[in-house]
Amino acid sequence: QKEVEQDPGPLSVPEGAIVSLNCTYSNSAFQYFMWYRQYSRKGPELLMYTYSSGNKEDGRFTAQVDKSSKYISLFIRDSQPSDSATYLCAMKNAGGTSYGKLTFGQGTILTVHP
Amino acid sequence: ETGVTQTPRHLVMGMTNKKSLKCEQHLGHNAMYWYKQSAKKPLELMFVYSLEERVENNSVPSRFSPECPNSSHLFLHLHTLQPEDSALYLCASSQGPTSTDTQYFGPGTRLTVL
């Protein structure tokens, strides 16, 4: 079983739609949860960063973490063509000797068409 | 230059060649990372350096040899690679190697091994 499972898609939605992206994980030691966005031919850029369970909102983006279910989500409201990218979930342990090791999902390819 | 830069952006090499990838961070960070991103697979952490000292080697074959001469520069020396080593190689940096530090990625080097 993979530590982090993410549906690779691809996901295609019309402009203005609400997009829901999800990851499940098996390692209960994960405490920090991130969403990265990666445009074609670019490196990943951090979009959202959440510690433990709860919600975090930033503009059109909302990240949710449910540690009891080992499930994280990213919602994009009023999606735009410029949101078309691969979205990667990532997570890491707190402290120890993990040296900030990020464990990534496979990434979901999102296309928002006009 | 700002952020994390990587050169070259594209590299094609034969299995008997020796080449090097270069990463430079302009963020004043103390930790640097090499990741491998293959098609349809999650990003895989390869190496972590903290204050120029290697603190993590994620079971990477010896044909990949990292070097960190100072906290701003990171190299990945390649020799006798295999076609399955073809991938996008990403460099990242963070303030420190701890769990709370955000990692910032460069654009990557697209490597093709013939």
Render pLDDT for B12-22 as a digit per residue (tens, 0 to 9). Answer: 998 888 999 99
Main-chain phi, psi angles of A40, to 5 degrees: -55, 135
Q: Are the Cβ atoms of A95 and B98 closer than 8 angstroms?
A: yes
Residue pair B35/B111 in contact (Cβ under 8 Å)? The answer is no
Residue pair B109/B13 in contact (Cβ under 8 Å)? The answer is no
Q: Which residues of chain B are within 8 Å of residue A2 when distances are taken between CB atoms? A: 42
The pair of structure tokens assigned to B62 is 């010896």
pLDDT tens-digit series, residues B23-78: 999 999 999 999 999 988 899 999 999 887 887 777 899 999 999 999 999 999 99
Helix (H, G, I), strand (E, B) or coil at B106: coil
Max CA separation in chain B (angstroms): 41
DSSP-derived letter for residue A97 is T
**pLDDT score for A73:** 97
Q: Are the Cβ atoms of B101 and A93 closer than 8 angstroms?
A: no
**pLDDT score for A97:** 54
The pair of structure tokens assigned to B18 is 């020796």
What span, in angstroms and rounded, lies between the C-alpha atoms of A21 and B107? Answer: 23
Q: Say whether residue A59 is in contact with chain B using an 8 A CB cutoff.
A: no
Q: Are the Cβ atoms of B102 and A43 closer than 8 angstroms?
A: no
Decide: residue A58, CB within 10 A, 0-12 exposed, 13-18 middle, 19+ buried.
exposed
Percent of chain B with pLDDT over 70: 98
**pLDDT score for B39:** 87
**pLDDT score for A12:** 96
Q: Say whether residue A89 is in contact with chain B using an 8 A CB cutoff.
A: no
**pLDDT score for A101:** 79
Q: How many CB pairs under 8 A join A and B?
A: 70
B69 cis-preceded (ω within 30 degrees of 0) = no
Decide: residue A44, CB within 10 A, 0-12 exposed, 13-18 middle, 19+ buried.
buried
Q: What is the pLDDT along chain A (114 residues), one digit of tens a residue?
A: 778 999 888 999 999 999 999 999 999 989 899 999 999 988 999 999 998 888 999 999 999 999 999 999 999 999 999 999 999 999 988 765 556 678 999 999 999 999
| Candidate from B31, B41, B45 with C-beta closest to A102 | B45
**pLDDT score for B16:** 87
| Candidate from B45, B96, B108 with C-beta closest to A101 | B45
